[in-house]
Amino acid sequence: MKFTLAVAALAAAVLTPTLAQAQFAKADDAVEYRQSALFLMGNHFGRIGAVVKGDAPFNKDDVAKNAELVATLSKLPWPAFDGGQTNGKSKAKPEVFSDKAKFQQAAEKMETAVAKLNTVAKGGDLASIKTAFGEAAQTCKSCHDNFRAK
Ligand code: HEC
């Protein structure tokens, strides 16, 4: 009996982090999680955008840090769409949940583009950063056009 309990406790301890990432108890949690992740990603992406547009001075360490954060954050929102959970505050169009394959493809395109931006940013060449930023921004726009309500 003691042994069984110990095994159950261990299994729970091992499984909990995975479950917490993969599913959300409430629709509100799923929506808040993905919106928060997207908000942070958008914020750090926007800081690079300001440099690219010439609205902020070019500091290559800052750009590299922001690009690294964007690349990391770009992986976070998607599991929070997986369960199909949504609420009145979500801007996700129904197509996010009815056309999962296309949505996932759009997410992967963006992850690839921001990973490239991250690599390029480490190099510190502004012209290359501008190009990679533009390509990444296009992947945001194309998904928003298809999957995000205005
Ligand atoms: C695969 C599709 C997809 C891609 C790619 C994508 N987004 Fe989004 N984005 C969404 C959806 C869907 C929402 C609405 C989520 C919701 O409200 O449930 C959203 C919402 C947002 C929000 C609003 C978050 C909030 O505060 O509620 C920001 C900011 C954002 N995205 C930025 C970006 C940026 C920047 C990129 C590119 C680097 C990007 N997104 C790429 C689908 C995408």
Please say whether the beta carbons of 121 and 63 come within 8 A. yes
- Between 127 and 23, the higher pLDDT residue: 127
Please say whether the beta carbons of 71 and 114 come within 8 A. yes
**How far is residue 145's CA from residue 150's CA, in Å, rounded to a whole number?**
9
Q: What percent of the chain has pLDDT over 90?
A: 84
The answer, yes or no, to whether residue 11 has pLDDT greater than 80, is no
Q: What is the pTM of this model?
A: 0.88
Q: What is the pLDDT of residue 2?
A: 63
Q: Per residue in 16-29, is it b (16+ CB within 10 Å) or e — as a string? A: eeeeeeeebeebee
What's the rounded mean pLDDT across residues 17-43?
A: 86
CB-CB neighbours of 137 under 10 Å = 18
What's the rounded mean pLDDT across residues 63-81?
A: 98
Q: What is the pLDDT of residue 85?
A: 95
Q: What is the pLDDT of residue 15?
A: 56
Tokens 């406790």 belong to which residue?
A: 9
Q: What percent of the chain has pLDDT over 70?
A: 85
In the CATH scheme, what architecture does the domain 25-80+90-145 have? Up-down Bundle (1.20)
Tokens 């590299």 belong to which residue?
A: 64
Q: What is the pLDDT of residue 20?
A: 47
Q: What is the pLDDT of residue 23?
A: 80
Is 144 annotated to bind a ligand? Reply is yes
Token digits for 147?
A: 């999957």
Nearest CA among 65, 67, 66, 79 for reference residue 37: 79
Residues lining ligand 1, judged by CB closer than 6 Å?
31, 34-35, 38-39, 41-42, 45, 90-92, 96, 103, 106-107, 110, 114, 136, 139-140, 143-144, 147-148
**Which residue type sits at 41?**
M
**How far is residue 84's CA from residue 67's CA, in Å, rounded to a whole number?**
29
The answer, yes or no, to whether residue 101 has pLDDT greater than 80, is yes
Domain boundaries, the chain: 25-80+90-145
Q: What is the pLDDT of residue 8?
A: 64
- Between 18 and 120, the higher pLDDT residue: 120
What's the rounded mean pLDDT across residues 14-23?
A: 55
Is 67 annotated to bind a ligand? Reply is no
What's the rounded mean pLDDT across residues 107-131?
A: 98
Quote the radius of gyration of the chain (alpha carbons, Å): 19
